[in-house]
Structure 1
C-alpha cells in the first residue's frame, strides 16, 4: 500500500512539473521577440533554473492537497479524498488559465502577473472581448491542457483509495514527503526562493521565462514593505553620485517666456511609425509637415513599457523603476514636485485631457499628484456614441472637444492630451477604414487616423488667440510592444518620437544625441526661461552634454535595468549588483567603465531619493 501511495505522489508531482515545463515553452515561444536570442547553453540554463522555480510552485499546490489526504487516511472518509482531488484539479486549472493569460498579456505588461497588475487588467476588460479571436491558439492550448490534466490525474490518483483508516502514527511516514515539499518551496539558500533569486541561477534577462505566474503573484501579495532592490545602495561618495547623475537642476539666467504648452502623449506610437524611409512608417502627412519645422530628437527613448510608466517619466522627470508608478510603490506617500506643479507655481493652469473613463489606469490620481488641477475625461465629453467600444472616445471626436475646451482656458496653461485610438486593438471609426492605407504594421491605420485628428485639432487651434504663443510637444507613452509586426530589438524597441513645434518655426533643428522622456521637463523649463531649481533626471535637449547622453528603462521587473548610451546597451542586475549583459551598438567592443559608473550612480541616487523622501527637495543632503 505504501508503494502505491508513493507511486501516486511521484506521478502527480511529475505531471505537475511536466505541465509547468509546457507552460514555460508556450510562454517563451509566444513572447520570444521580447527576449535576447539564446544559444543552446543559455536555453538549458533557463530550463534548469525554471525547473527549480517550478518545483517550488508545484510544492505550494501539493502541500494543502497532501494535508487533506492525510486527514482522509486517518478517517477513511471519502469526502476528504474527493475534496483533495477537487482542490488539486481547481488549482491546476487556475494555474493553466493564469499562465496562458500571462502569455498573451505579457506584450502589454512586460511582466508576470502580480497583485498590482489587477488594477490595470480591470481597466482593460473591454479589450478582452477580442481575446478569443486574437489568441485562439492559446485558448485551444488551454483546452488541451485542461482535458489532458483531467484524464492523467484520474489515472494517477486511482490508487489513492483506502478501505480502512490508517493509525495516526503511520501518517508519520509522510514526514519525508512534507520535508521534500518544504525544501522545494524554500530552497537551501539562507534567503527563501523568490522571483528576486533568478540571477542566482541564470541570466536575469530571462527572468520572466524562469519564474512562473503562481510564484510572482504570491510574491507580490506577501512581500514585505519596501522596494525590490534589497538594502540601500552605496557605490560611491555622495558628491560623486550627484556630479555623475545630476538631479537638482538650475538653468542659466535667461528671460522668462510664459508660453502656453500643449503636450501630446501619443499612445503606443513607436518612432518607426513616423520615421521617413522606415518600411514600417505609417501615412502621416500632417505630422511629417509639422516635424519638418520642429525641434526633432532623432534618438529618443521611452523610460518604461506601460502608459503609467511613460506618463510618470514625462510629467515628473523621474522614471518608474520600483513599480508601475510611484502610486503603486511602497513610496506612495513621498512628496513630489513634478512639471505640472512647477508650471502651477508660475501661474499656469494645469490640465490633462484623456478620452477614457475617469481615473482609467489610475491616471487621474497620478496626474493630480503631479500637480494637474483639471482632469478631463470621457465623462466630460458626454457622448457615448463616439466611444470606440474598447477604451473610450475616438481621437477625432475627443480632440475636437479638447480644442474647444482649450480655447476657454485662461492663459498661460500647461495642457497634456493623451489619445486612445492607437492603442490595441487599433479601432478607428468605420468611415475612416477605407480612407487610410493599411501599411506594413498592425497599427498603421490607427496612426494615420491620429494624424488626421491632430490635423483637425490644429486647423481649429489656429483660429484662437492662444495658438501663436504656444509650444506643442509630441512624444509617446511607450513603444508599441503589442504590435507583432513591428521589427526592433534591444534598446531599439524603446525608441519613440520626440519633437517640439512652435508656430513661427523658430525652434527648427535636429538633435541626434540620446534623449528620453525625462528630458521633456528640463527642456520645457529651458524654453520658458525658468531659472529656479527643480528636480529631474533628464537633461534639456538644448544643452545636451556628451556625458548626459544616456537613458534608463526597466527591462525586466523587479530589478533588471537597461542603460543605453550612443554606443552601448548595458543590462544591470540591481538586486545582485552585476552586469547581466552588454551589447555594443556598432558591434565593436568599447570601454564600458563610464557607463557602469553612470548606472551605479543613478541606482544609488534614485534609491536614496525614494527611501528618504527627497524627490521634491532641491537642497537634499545624505543622512
Structure 2
C-alpha cells in the first residue's frame, strides 16, 4: 500500500512512458539519416543534433496524437488506476497506436531514395490502384529485410522498457478532496499541454504545425526531411489537399507573367505517327549522351543504344521532371499538367475535360493507344487514360501471356515493346502510341536469360537500365523494317528519377533531372539543346512539330520554335516550389520566397535572397503567377 495524495507517481510514470516514445523516434530519425546520409547533406554531428532537436516539436505532435487515448486514461480520476487490469488497458492503448505509427518511419529508410520526401498519405492513393499489393510487400520484405529487423527489434526493446517500470501496487486515498483537486489540476495541465503539443504552441495567431514548417529550421531544403518524421507527415496530410486557390496578383499582372495558351504557326500541318516512351525511373544520370559535359569523375553510361540514337536525335541534357512519381510523369508529359505537393490525379479535380496530346491528336484523326505491361489499372493509368480519352488501353490482360510476367510489376520490357510494335502494325495511320515501361524498377531484376549481360554498376537499378536500353534497341531494330517507321516521331523521356550514384545528381535540383530525346528517321531535328526543358514541354512540342493549327491550353513551351516563352522549369521538392529561369533558381514555400540561387547552384548552397535584383523580382512574380494560374485552372475546370 502506498500513499498517492497528489498522484505524483502516476504523473512520473506517464512522463516516463511518453519519454520512451521520444527516445525511439530519435533512434528512428538517426536510422533515417544513416540510410540516406548521401542525400541529406548534413555537415557534422552537431548539425544533426540541431536538426534532431528541432524535430522534437514534430515528434511531439505525432506522439501526442497517437497517445491521446492513453494520456486521457492515465489521468482519469479512477481510484484503481494502478490495478493490473487497468494497467493492461493502458499498455494496449499506448503500444498499439504508437507502434503502428512508429513503423511508418521505417518506410522512409528506403522509400525516401525514390521520392526525396517524407512519405505522406498520398502514397496510399498510389497503392490503391495496385492489384499486387501482397507481392510488392513480400518483395520489399525480402529485399529490405534489415529494415524490418530494425523495426521489430526496436519495437521489442520499446515494449521491454515500458514494462520495466511497473505501477500496479494499490494506493491509499488519504483525502478524497485532495485527490480530486489534484486530479482536476492534473487534467487541466495535461489537456493544455496536449493542445500545445499537437498545435506547436497556444497562440491564437499561430496555425497548427504543417510539413512546410520544418523548413523554418534549416539551411538546406533537404534538412527539413531530417526534422520531420513520417507519422507526422502522414497525419498532417490525411483529408488534406494542396489544391486551393491562391491570390498573389490581379489578372492583368498574372497574364503578363504566365501564358497558358499556345498557338504555333511555323510548320505546315502534317500527320506523322507519334510514339512516346515514358520510361520508368530513367534518370538523366544513367544516359551517357546527356552527361558528356558534366565533368563527372569516373562516369559510366548504362544506355549504349540510347547513346547511339542520341547522335541522330535532338536531345535536351538540361531537362527535368515536373513531379516525382509515375502518375506525375504521365499527367505532365501527356497533358502538360505538373504535380507539386500532391498529385493532380489524386486531387478532387482530375475528372474534367482536359485538353492534351490525346484530345488534340484525336481531333486530327489519330488513333490513340496507351501501353503499360502491368496489371490493368495499375498506377491509375487506365482511369486517367479514360479521362484523357485514349481509344485503346493495352495492359497485361491484353498481352495475355504470363510466361513473360516479371513476378512483380508486369510484362518484361523487351517482349512488351515488341507487342506494341506488332499492335501498331495492325493500325491505320496516323496513330499516337504511349508506352510506359516497367522493368527499370525495384526490385531491379532482369529476365534469367539476361543475367550477367548488362553492367552491374554501383546501384541495383543499373543492370535494369541496361536491360530496358536493350529493349529499346530491339524495338528500333524491328520497327525500322515496318512501313510506318519513316513517318514517325519518336520521343523518349522518363517519369521520374531513381537511385543516385554521382554527387552531381544528389544536388536537390538535379534529383528531378530526366532525359528528353526526339528522334525522326529523316533527322530533320537533330543536335544538342542545353536550354532548360521539362516534361510539360513535350505536349506543345509535338503539336508544333505537326503544325497543329489551333490555339491550345499549355503551360509548357515548344522546344523547337517557341521564341516568346523563355525556357523555364517548375517543380516541387524539399517541401517547396523550385522555379528555374534565366540566371536564377527561385524557392517558394507557397507563401513567401525563401531563396534565390545562381542557376548553376543546383545544390542550393548559397542563398542570394539579400542580393535581389530586377531579374530576381521578375522571376518571383513569374513563379507566383504560375502557381496561381495552375490552381485556378484546375479548380475552375479550365483545362480544356
Distance in 1, Cα, partners of 2:71 & 2:169: 14
Q: Deviations over 1:21-43 (max 9, x none)?
A: 22222223322333454567864
1:10 and 1:282 map into 2 onto residues whose CA distance is 55
In 1, the alpha carbon distance for the partners of 2:242 and 2:35 equals: 30
CA contact (8 A) 1:65 1:88 kept: yes
SS of the aligned residue for 2:457 comes to: coil
Q: Could you tell which deviates more after superposition, 311-320 or 32-41?
A: 32-41
Unaligned runs of 5+ in 2: none
Q: Against the structure 1 CA distance between its residues 284 and 219, is the aligned structure 2 distance closer, same or farther, given a 3 Å change threshold?
A: closer
Query: Does residue 66 of the first structure (1) align with residue 84 of the second (2)?
Result: no
Match of 1:284 in 2: 303
**1:128 CA drift (Å):** 3.5
**Structure 1 match to 2:578:** 562
Q: Check 1:265–1:117 CA distance in 2 against 1; reply closer, same or farther (3 A cut).
A: same
- Partner residue in 2 for 1:141: 150
Contact 1:282/1:448, CA 8 A, preserved across alignment: no
* SS of the residue 1:416 aligns to: strand
> What does residue 606 of structure 1 align with?
630
Structure-2 change in CA distance of 1:29 and 1:335 (3 Å): farther
Structure 1 segment 450-469 matched on structure 2, within 5 A: 450-469=468-487
Of 423, 427, 434, the residue aligned with 1:416 is 434
Tell me if 1:22 matches 2:27.
yes
Deviation at 1:239, TM superposition (A): 2.9
1:192 aligns with 2:208: yes
What residue in structure 2 maps to residue 266 of structure 1? Answer: 279
The CA distance in 1 between the partners of 2:170 and 2:619, in whole Å, is: 65
**1:200 to 1:440, Cα distance in 2 relative to 1, 3 A:** closer
Could you report, residue by residue, the CA deviation over 1:38-77 in whole angstroms, capped at 9, with x for unpaired residues? 5678645533331111112222233201323345834556
Superposition pairs for residues 379-528 of structure 1, below 5 Å? 379-480=397-498, 482-483=499-500, 488=505, 489-528=507-546
Q: What displacement does 1:115 show?
A: 3.1
Q: Which residue of 1 aligns with 2:116?
A: 110
Q: Is the CA contact 2:317–2:515 (under 8 Å) kept in the aligned structure 1?
A: yes
* Residue 422 of structure 1: how far off its partner (Å): 0.9
Counterparts of residues 324-363 of structure 1 (less than 5 Å): 324=343, 326-363=344-381
CA contact 1:351–1:375 (8 Å) conserved in 2: yes
Larger deviation, residues 96-105 vs 164-173: 164-173
Counterpart in the other structure of 1:303: 322
Deviation at 1:210, TM superposition (A): 2.4
Matches of 1:555 and 1:129, distance apart in 2:
30
How many angstroms does 1:429 deviate by? 0.8
Question: Would you say the 8 A contact 2:243–2:347 is kept in 1?
Answer: no
Question: How does the TM-score come out when normalised to structure 1?
Answer: 0.90
Q: How many residues align?
A: 606
Unaligned segments of structure 1, at least 5 residues: 617-623
Is 1:162 matched up with 2:170? yes
* 2:231 corresponds to 1:211: no
For each residue in 1:77-106, what CA deviation from the matched residue of structure 2 results, as whole angstroms up to 9, or x when unmatched?
643321211121222321331111232222
Higher mean C-alpha deviation, range 127-136 or range 177-186: 127-136
Note the aligned Cα RMSD (angstroms).
Answer: 2.7
Shift of 1:495: 1.6
Q: Is 1:220 aligned with 2:225?
A: no
For the residues of structure 1 that align with 2:335 and 2:599, how far apart are their CA atoms?
30
Say which SS state the counterpart of residue 507 (structure 1) adopts: coil
What CA distance in whole angstroms lies between the structure 2 residues aligned with 1:408 and 1:545? Answer: 39
Q: Distance in 2 between matches of 1:392 and 1:184?
A: 45
- Kept in 2, the 8 Å contact 1:501–1:507? The answer is yes
Query: How far apart in 2 are the matches of 1:266 and 1:259?
Result: 22
* Offset of residue 382 of structure 1: 0.8
SS of equivalent residue, structure 2 residue 16: helix
Q: Residue 541 of structure 1 is aligned with which of 556, 559, 577?
A: 559
CA contact (8 A) 2:267 2:545 kept: no
Counterpart CA distance in 1 for 2:637 and 2:127 is 30
* Residue of structure 1 in register with 2:126 after alignment: 120
Partner of 2:94: 88
Which string of whole-angstrom CA distances, capped at 9 and with x for unpartnered residues, describes residues 165-203 of structure 1? 895835324311222122211222332223243345556
Query: Which of the numbers 234, 244, 254 marks the counterpart of 2:248?
Result: 234
CA distance in 1, matches of 2:469, 2:110: 29
Give the 3 Å change call, closer, same or farther, for CA 613–44 of structure 1 in structure 2: farther
- Do the aligned residues in 1 keep the contact of 2:67 with 2:93 (CA within 8 Å)? no
Partners of 2:457 and 2:80 in 1: how far apart? 68
* Alpha-carbon spacing, 1:523–1:128, altered in 2? closer, same or farther (3 Å): same
- Does the 8 Å CA contact 1:314/1:521 hold for their aligned counterparts? yes
CA contact (8 A) 1:269 1:496 kept: yes
| Between 354-363 and 276-285, the greater mean CA deviation after superposition | 276-285
Residue 101 of structure 1: which of 100, 104, 107 is its match? 107
The 3-state SS of whatever aligns with 2:594 is strand
